[in-house]
């Protein structure tokens, strides 16, 4: 769609090896063997498969245990995607091109949407990564013991650890290209904009988790039932509020850092430090408490997340190992092919965080059956818009 080929996007597309003018239509399917390099279909398959399995698990959990939380996380993250991403792809179409230029371009993958702007795996990575982070924190019982806000902060921290492993590798392997001249991407943290490191890796999942647990999760934990329409409108609201939260949380950097890149970078980093300072002691303390089995409350377990988090980390480790020769041969931050490299030390720290979180959910007691204390319990929806009585505390009227 040539009329949507803004100059910056056209330049980024050429750097990635494809033509903006020839980039498909609403949907385009390519031969995976003909992509830029072999890592693209491997990444795509891993993320899309994980998202599909996460959705299946969420549906099964709803049907068997009456727990819609996983489903709300999945669709809430997807709603967030479709609110946030399209304006970034087509700023002119949304009337914001005077303020927002193209910030990045994805490479073309096996399945793409919106004239080469939106690969299928990007649609999938939002619900998959949100599910992994949210459920790790939930399995450690942080929401149950410390409440909605602290639990959400821990989700942001865990998501950051898992996501930055991917974020610092993508530019080198040509999964996407950042517009380094765009002031909204400043300051850069090697090959990754610091705003991405903070906002998209930590603050958006924190915002999403807060509203998921506030609007749905905590009520489900108490045995409350929701009808199908109630879950639909709650999920839509979560997507909207999660998007607003992502705009509100980085306000110190976006407001006070205007025209001052060093200050902007300091304020972004400060927010990430605060998230880290809150999350680390809480996660450690709660893991130790569960290891001592201090609580008689059944411990929630998500078998899919336990297994697929290992799969994700193994695939990312493989991709990083194969990228290391070019990484170490790089000169002035670029490989011999001219691709920017990420920060290996920061990636290793994130790998450490992610691995420890995954080990933690394997080393705490877990329930043998339905963790929700709903058997023989009758709850009534107090809102009056689908308030059937349920002995399971699950979805009613769906």
pLDDT 10s digits, 174-189:
999 999 988 999 999 9
> Terminus-to-terminus CA distance in the chain, angstroms?
41
Is residue 223 left, alpha or beta, with left meaning phi > 0 and alpha meaning psi from -120 to 50?
Answer: left
Q: What is the pLDDT of residue 258?
A: 85
Rounded Cα–Cα distance for residues 200 and 276 (Å)? 15
Rounded Cα–Cα distance for residues 100 and 47 (Å)? 29
Average the pLDDT over each of 95-109, 157-171, 335-349, 379-393 and give the range with the smallest value.
379-393
* Rounded to 5°, angle at Cα 40 from 35 and 46: 140
Task: Express as a percent the part of the chain with pLDDT over 90.
Answer: 69
Do 190 and 180 touch, CB atoms closer than 8 A? no
Q: Which two tokens stand for residue 307?
A: 């297994």
pLDDT 10s digits, 120-140:
999 999 999 999 999 999 999
Q: Which two tokens stand for residue 342?
A: 């990420």
Cα–Cα separations (whole angstroms), residue 279 to 154, 174, 318? 5, 32, 28
pLDDT 10s digits, 187-199:
999 999 999 999 9
Q: What is the pLDDT of residue 369?
A: 43
Output 311 or 369, whichever has higher pLDDT: 311
Rounded Cα–Cα distance for residues 174 and 36 (Å)? 8
Q: What is the pLDDT of residue 223?
A: 87
Domain extent listing, the chain = 2-388
pLDDT 10s digits, 219-269:
998 888 888 899 999 999 999 999 999 999 999 998 898 889 999 999 999
- At 151, the pLDDT band (50, 70, 90 cuts) reads very high
Rounded Cα–Cα distance for residues 269 and 47 (Å)? 28
pTM: 0.90
């Amino acid at each position: 769609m040539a009329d949507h080929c803004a100059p910056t996007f056209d330049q980024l597309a050429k750097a990635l090896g494809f033509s903006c003018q020839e980039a498909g239509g609403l949907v385009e399917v390519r031969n995976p063997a003909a992509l830029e390099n072999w890592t693209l279909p491997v990444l795509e398959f891993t993320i899309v498969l994980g998202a599909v399995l996460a959705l299946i698990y969420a549906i099964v959990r709803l049907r068997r245990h009456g727990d819609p939380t996983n489903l709300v996380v999945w669709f809430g993250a997807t709603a967030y995607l479709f609110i946030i991403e399209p304006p970034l792809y087509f700023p002119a179409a949304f009337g914001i091109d005077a303020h927002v230029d193209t910030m990045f371009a994805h490479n073309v993958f096996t399945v793409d949407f919106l004239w080469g702007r939106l690969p299928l795996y990007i649609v999938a990575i939002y619900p998959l990564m949100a599910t992994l982070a949210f459920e790790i924190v939930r399995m450690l019982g942080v929401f149950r013991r410390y409440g909605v806000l602290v639990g959400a902060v821990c989700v942001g921290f865990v998501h950051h650890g898992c996501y930055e492993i991917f974020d610092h590798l993508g530019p080198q392997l040509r999964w996407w290209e950042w517009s380094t001249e765009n002031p909204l991407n400043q300051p850069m943290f090697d090959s990754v904009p610091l705003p991405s490191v903070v906002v998209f890796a930590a603050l958006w999942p924190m915002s999403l988790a807060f509203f998921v647990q506030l609007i749905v999760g905590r009520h489900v934990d108490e045995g409350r039932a929701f009808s199908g329409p109630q879950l639909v409108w709650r999920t839509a609201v979560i997507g909207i509020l999660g998007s607003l939260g992502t705009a509100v949380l980085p306000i110190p950097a976006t407001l006070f850092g205007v025209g001052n890149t060093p200050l902007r970078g300091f304020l972004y980093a400060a927010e990430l430090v605060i998230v880290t300072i809150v999350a680390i002691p809480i996660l450690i303390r709660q893991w130790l408490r569960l290891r001592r089995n201090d609580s008689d409350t059944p411990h929630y377990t998500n078998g899919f997340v336990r297994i697929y988090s290992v799969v994700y980390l193994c695939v990312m480790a493989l991709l990083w190992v194969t990228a290391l020769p070019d990484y170490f041969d790089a000169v002035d931050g670029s490989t011999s092919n001219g691709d920017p490299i990420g920060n290996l030390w920061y990636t290793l720290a994130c790998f450490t965080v992610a691995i420890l979180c995954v080990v933690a959910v394997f080393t705490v007691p877990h329930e043998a059956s339905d963790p929700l204390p709903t058997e023989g319990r009758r709850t009534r929806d107090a809102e009056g818009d689908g308030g059937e009585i349920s002995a399971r505390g699950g979805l009613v009227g769906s």
